[in-house]
Amino acid sequence: MSVTIDLTTLGQQYEHGWNDVNGTAAKFTSEDSDYRIYKPSWVCNSDGTFTAVLKQDHVRGGAVDDHAETVTVFDSTGALQSTSTNWNYGNNKQIQTGTVLTVDLVAAFVITSTALVDGGLSLALVPEVVGAISTGCKIYNKLAGEVIELDDDGGRLNFVAVVNHNLNKLCASIVTS
């Protein structure tokens, strides 16, 4: 007996079917938050079991998406044997620490270079401008973290239920022959 996933049946369980990422994913809304599930990958194992992998996203417009990857094992009759999910919660949009450090290094280089070349008179404003950019980056990072944390629409809390619901849809799309 072999086990497989009927992708047509699975896709029909989403209002707009496989409508995202060039037809490889379904994007949908649940409880006023957006989510995406990708067409699952699977393998038939040598022991007769069947392993399916579901990748899912909580689409967070103003921040990095949250991700879940569920690995599910079915026996040779299509009965669910085990499931596990790895969660990766996106972090806030930040200006990378390396970028801020680079701005700081440029400021130090410009200050040193102008002092050596002509006493710092011709480029006197550059260190202040670069320093202001560095300070601006640091302030943005602090505020962005606070604002995005306050802005979450409950989608993260609902993501657990969405992942579980999508697992149920996968189980309903298992076909044996």
Backbone angles phi, psi at 121, to 5 degrees: -75, -40
In this prediction, residue 1 has a pLDDT band, given cuts at 50, 70 and 90, of: confident
pLDDT > 90 fraction of the chain, expressed in percent and rounded? 53
Q: Strand, helix or coil at 119? A: coil
- pLDDT of residue 168 exceeding 70, the answer is yes
123 or 87, which is more confident: 87
What local confidence, expressed as pLDDT, does residue 64 receive? 82
In this prediction, residue 61 has a pLDDT band, given cuts at 50, 70 and 90, of: confident
What local confidence, expressed as pLDDT, does residue 93 receive? 54
To 5 degrees, how large is the angle CA 95–CA 101–CA 104?
A: 115
In this prediction, residue 78 has a pLDDT band, given cuts at 50, 70 and 90, of: very high
Average pLDDT over residues 37-60: 95
- Give the span between the Cα atoms of 78 and 145, in whole angstroms: 45
- Mean pLDDT of all residues in the chain? 78
Average pLDDT over residues 2-6: 93
Q: How do the domains of the chain map onto residue ranges? A: 3-92+153-176, 97-150
142 or 30, which is more confident: 30
Task: Give this prediction's pTM.
Answer: 0.67
91, two tokens: 């972090």
Burial call 44-74: b when 16+ CB within 10 Å, e when fewer: eeeeeebbbebebbbbbeebebbbbebebeb
What local confidence, expressed as pLDDT, does residue 134 receive? 58
pLDDT per position as a tens digit, 91-135:
655 555 544 444 444 555 554 444 444 454 444 444 555 555 556
